[in-house]
Structure 1
Amino acid sequence: MAHSEPEPVGDDELEALLAACQVLVAVSARSLAATESVLDIAAFRVLVMAAGEGCVAVGQLADQLRLHPATAERLCARLVLMNLLRPPRRDSAGQQPSTGRFSLTPQGQGLVHMVMSRRRAAVEPALARLPAADRAALVTALHAFAAAAGEPERHELWAMGWTH
């Protein structure tokens, strides 16, 4: 089967997609707004990654979220103080190993769940206002777009604050 050249993309197609992206970015930003006094986006990204992995090491966070290791370490320390992240277990000498893994506390899990629930709750009414046939076509089109764009790797999603 011969590989054909992609068809040119029209301005109206680009504008429609960018408008939809703008709505989704706004939903994402608003879902985090309630945590602004507690968390910045970098701290939330750490929580999302810990939620997705179960537990994470500072080096892993730094690599996958593209942070300097010292920045990742400070973020983890701050999240531990806020009781959102559980520190690694201490060894028999009472030292916290540098390779230890952090995990979410119940409060951290609750915060990630709250933000993700807000995102779903913000999008669902707009979908509900669409006729069922339009929703089905949208789902098909979005799956096709995601496939054409290439699925982001898990660490890329976590870096943007998405659990899936």
Structure 2
Amino acid sequence: MKLYVEGGPASTGDHDLLVDSLSALSRTLVGITARALGSLDAEVTLSQYRTLVILASTAPLRTVDLASSLGVHPSTATRTCNRLVQRALVARHHRPDDRRVAWLTLTEVGKTLVGDVMRHRTAEIRRLLEATDVERPQTTANLINALVVAAGELTEESWWQRWEQSGP
């Protein structure tokens, strides 16, 4: 895959900088999502929330298809869905023509939760973008790093430096 920045193809250094920036942004977005879940008193783990997001965008799904989308064993997806069914966030439905297969969908409560978290996350990203002092960043990586810093997170380079110092 060739990356392009203003002025032409990206060099390996640009590619590495973009990868580092995206890694830091990923960490930032996970934090934003976790805080959104916490602020809504959702009592849903990040992996359970990921299940809800997949169901919001592709339901109805069979458990085996959900497991494939999540990259987990079907028994793991079943246990996750059992917990979400108990919390009334996911429902299992059987079709009259094949009662052996259960189809998973969000309940209205699950749909509302996903929508609330997405709106919270979008608002936070908008706030971060407004908080950056980058009017026109030189590169995509600069913009991403500015968003990471605006969120109060460490850039990838700084994170790894801290990680290196965190052990005995």
SS of equivalent to 1:31:
helix
| Compared CA separation, residues 5 and 114, structure 1 to 2 (3 A) | closer
Corresponding residue for residue 111 of structure 2: 109
Deviation at 1:22, TM superposition (A): 4.1
Deviation at 1:15, TM superposition (A): 9.5
Q: 1:39 aligns with which of 40, 44, 51?
A: 44
Q: How does 1:48-59 map to 2 (within 5 A)?
A: 48-59=53-64
Show structure 2 runs of 5+ residues with no match. Answer: 1-7, 145-168
More strand by share: 2
SS of equivalent to 1:128:
helix
Deviation at 1:8, TM superposition (A): 3.5
Corresponding residue for residue 80 of structure 1: 85
Over the matched positions of the two proteins, sequence identity in percent amounts to 28
> Which stretch of the first structure deviates more once superposed, 60-69 or 31-40?
31-40
Corresponding residue for residue 141 of structure 1: 140
Corresponding residue for residue 28 of structure 2: 23
Deviation at 1:60, TM superposition (A): 0.4
Q: 1:7 aligns with which of 6, 11, 27?
A: 11
> Which stretch of the first structure deviates more once superposed, 18-27 or 56-65?
18-27
CA distance in 1, matches of 2:130, 2:75: 45
CA contact (8 A) 2:36 2:120 kept: yes
| Compared CA separation, residues 8 and 47, structure 1 to 2 (3 A) | closer
The count of residues paired between Structure 1 and Structure 2 equals 134
CA offsets 1:119-139 (integer angstroms, 9 cap, x no match): 1121111212346843xx58x
Cα RMSD (Å): 3.6
SS of equivalent to 1:86:
strand
Show structure 1 runs of 5+ residues with no match. Answer: 146-164
CA distance in 2, matches of 1:70, 1:19: 32
CA distance in 2, matches of 1:73, 1:15: 34
